[in-house]
C-alpha cells in the first residue's frame, strides 16, 4: 500500500507513561484500555502492559473476553458492570471483576451457582450522577453483597466529574462525600482517581489508580497544562504532502470555497481526512507539522484530504513528511481547535493503516 497516511503506535512509550502514573499514584494501577485502548489497539496495549499493570479496566464483557482470548490473565474490571443479569455467569467463568453500580446487579450475583464467588468493585456516586449507588443506600448495598455469598472481596470506588480541572479545591466536595460514606462501611480497599486526579490532585489517592488517557501520553488538562509530566504520546498520526499548487489572491480552496486566499498562496494537499479520523470540525489555522515547520490548515476538511498553507514553508514539497498529531502537534491542540477533547480524536483515528512498534526511536 502506498497511501502514506498511517498511525504509528509506540508501545515502549506506553510503559514510560505507565511508570509515571505508578510513581505519582503509588499502590496498584488499573490500566484503562476500554474502547480499543482509546484507539491504540487493546490487545497490543494489554500485552505491552501485562507485566506492569495490576489489572485492566474495560467498558464491556465483550472487551474483557477479547483480552482473555488473547491470553491476558491479569485482573480485568468491567468499569460499567454488567448490562444484563445473564452476563454474570460469563463474568464468573472468565474470572472478571464487575463494578456493581446498581442493586439489580446484586440479584444477578445471587443467581450464580452456590460456591461461585467473584471479586467486585462497589461504585459510589459522589456527585457525577451517572453510575453508582448514592451514599444513603451504600450500607444496604454492601450488606446485600455480603449476604449474597457470591462475593470474594469488595473494593470501594468512585469517579470524579471534574478531576481534569486545575482548581485545587475541585475535588473537596466529592472527597468529603466519599470519606463520609466510607465511615458507614468496614475498611475496604479503594479506587478513586483517573488521569486528571493522578496528575493534578494528590489529595485523591486510593489503593488503586485508574489512569487511561495519561497512559497514551496525553494530559487531560487544558493544553496549557500539557507539560505537567514528561508524558510521551503513544500515537503518531502521520502522512505526506501528496499534491501542490499555487493560487492567486482571491481564489478559494476546497468545498464551500470556505478559505479565500488573501495573498498568492502555495497550497499543499495531505491525503488524510475525516474518514481517517481527522476531525471535520478542525478550524482554519489548526496546526499541521510539515517537514521541520508548522503549516496552518486552510479550507474544509474533506473525507480523505486536507489542505494546508505552505506559502511560508518553501522547502516543503511532494513527499515531505506530515504529522497530524503526535510528537510535534499535541492531539489536545487539534481537539481544542475542533471543539472536542483528545479522548474523542484518539478513539476515532481508525481507518488509517496502523503500525505497531514495540520499541523504537526515542
Taking CB under 6 A as the binding criterion, the range among 188-196, 254-262, 312-320, 347-355 that sits at the site for ligand PLP is 188-196
Which residues does 299 contact at the CB level (< 8 Å), separation at least 6? 252, 253, 254, 255, 258, 259, 284, 306, 307
Q: Which three cell numbers stand for residue 180?
A: 463520609
Taking CB under 6 A as the binding criterion, the range among 88-96, 105-113, 193-201, 300-308 that sits at the site for ligand PLP is 193-201
Using CB under 6 A as the binding rule, whether residue 233 contacts ligand PLP is answered as no
**Distance from CA of residue 145 to its chain's centroid?**
31
Nearest to 46 by CA among 33, 34, 35: 33
Taking CB under 6 A as the binding criterion, the range among 87-95, 205-213, 232-240, 312-320 that sits at the site for ligand PLP is 205-213
Cβ 339 to ligand PLP shortest distance, Å: 19
**CA dist 258 → 42, 89, 250, 254, 312 (Å):** 38, 55, 12, 7, 21
Cβ 246 to ligand PLP shortest distance, Å: 44
**Which residue is at the shortest CB distance from ligand PLP?**
212
* Catalytic residue check, 123: no
Using CB under 6 A as the binding rule, whether residue 326 contacts ligand PLP is answered as no
User: Rounded distance, CA 66 to CA 48, Å?
Assistant: 15
Catalytic option among 123, 255, 260, 278: 255
Of positions 29, 48, 76, 79, contacts ligand PLP by CB under 6 A = 79
For residues 141 to 170, the per-residue mask of contacts with ligand PLP, x marking binding by CB under 6 A and - elsewhere, is ------------------x-----------
User: Rounded distance, CA 148 to CA 118, Å?
Assistant: 11
- CB nearer to ligand PLP: pick between 81 and 287: 81
User: Rounded distance, CA 10 to CA 83, Å?
Assistant: 33
* Catalytic residue check, 216: no
- CB nearer to ligand PLP: pick between 247 and 347: 347
- CB nearer to ligand PLP: pick between 206 and 279: 206
Using CB under 6 A as the binding rule, whether residue 210 contacts ligand PLP is answered as yes
Using CB under 6 A as the binding rule, whether residue 212 contacts ligand PLP is answered as yes
Using CB under 6 A as the binding rule, whether residue 220 contacts ligand PLP is answered as yes
Of positions 64, 112, 141, 213, contacts ligand PLP by CB under 6 A = 213
Of positions 98, 211, 221, 299, contacts ligand PLP by CB under 6 A = 211
Binding site for ligand PLP (CB under 6 A): 32, 34, 79, 159, 194-196, 210-213, 220
Just list the catalytic residues.
Answer: 34, 255
Amino acid at each position: 500500500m502506498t497511501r502514506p497516511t498511517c498511525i504509528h503506535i509506540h508501545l515502549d512509550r506506553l510503559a514510560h507513561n505507565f511508570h509515571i502514573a505508578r510513581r505519582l499514584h503509588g499502590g496498584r494501577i488499573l490500566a484503562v484500555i476500554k474502547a480499543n485502548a482509546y484507539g491504540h489497539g487493546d490487545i497490543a496495549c494489554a500485552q505491552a502492559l501485562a507485566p506492569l499493570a495490576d489489572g485492566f479496566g474495560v467498558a464491556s464483557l465483550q472487551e474483557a473476553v477479547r483480552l482473555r482470548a488473547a491470553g491476558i490473565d491479569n485482573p480485568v474490571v468491567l468499569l460499567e458492570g454488567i448490562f444484563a443479569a445473564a452476563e454474570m455467569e460469563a463474568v464468573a467463568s472468565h474470572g472478571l471483576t464487575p463494578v456493581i453500580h446498581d442493586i439489580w446487579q446484586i440479584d444477578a450475583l445471587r443467581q450464580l451457582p452456590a460456591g461461585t464467588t467473584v471479586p467486585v468493585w462497589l461504585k459510589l456516586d459522589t456527585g457525577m450522577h451517572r453510575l453508582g449507588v448514592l451514599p444513603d443506600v451504600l450500607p444496604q448495598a454492601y450488606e446485600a453483597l455480603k449476604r449474597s455469598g457470591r462475593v470474594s472481596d469488595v473494593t470501594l470506588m468512585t469517579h470524579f466529574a471534574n478531576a481534569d480541572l486545575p482548581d485545587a479545591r475541585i475535588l473537596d466536595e466529592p472527597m468529603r462525600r466519599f470519606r463520609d460514606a466510607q465511615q458507614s462501611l468496614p475498611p475496604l480497599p479503594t479506587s478513586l482517581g483517573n488521569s486528571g486526579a493522578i496528575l493534578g490532585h494528590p489529595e485523591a489517592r486510593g489503593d488503586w489508580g485508574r489512569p487511561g488517557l495519561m497512559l497514551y501520553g496525553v494530559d487531560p488538562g487544558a493544553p496549557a497544562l500539557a507539560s505537567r509530566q514528561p508524558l510521551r504520546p503513544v500515537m503518531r498520526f502521520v502522512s505526506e504532502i501528496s499534491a501542490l499548487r499555487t493560487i492567486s489572491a482571491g481564489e478559494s480552496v476546497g468545498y464551500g470555497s470556505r478559505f479565500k486566499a488573501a495573498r498568492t498562496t502555495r497550497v499543499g494537499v495531505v491525503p488524510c481526512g475525516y474518514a481517517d479520523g481527522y476531525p471535520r470540525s478542525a478550524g482554519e489555522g489548526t496546526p499541521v507539522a510539515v517537514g521541520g515547520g508548522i503549516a496552518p490548515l486552510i479550507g474544509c476538511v474533506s473525507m480523505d484530504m486536507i489542505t494546508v498553507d505552505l506559502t511560508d514553508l518553501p522547502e516543503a514539497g511532494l513527499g515531505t513528511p506530515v504529522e497530524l498529531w503526535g510528537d510535534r502537534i499535541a492531539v489536545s491542540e487539534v481537539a481544542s481547535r475542533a471543539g472536542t477533547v483528545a479522548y474523542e480524536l484518539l478513539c476515532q483515528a481508525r481507518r488509517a493503516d496502523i503500525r505497531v512498534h514495540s520499541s523504537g526511536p526515542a
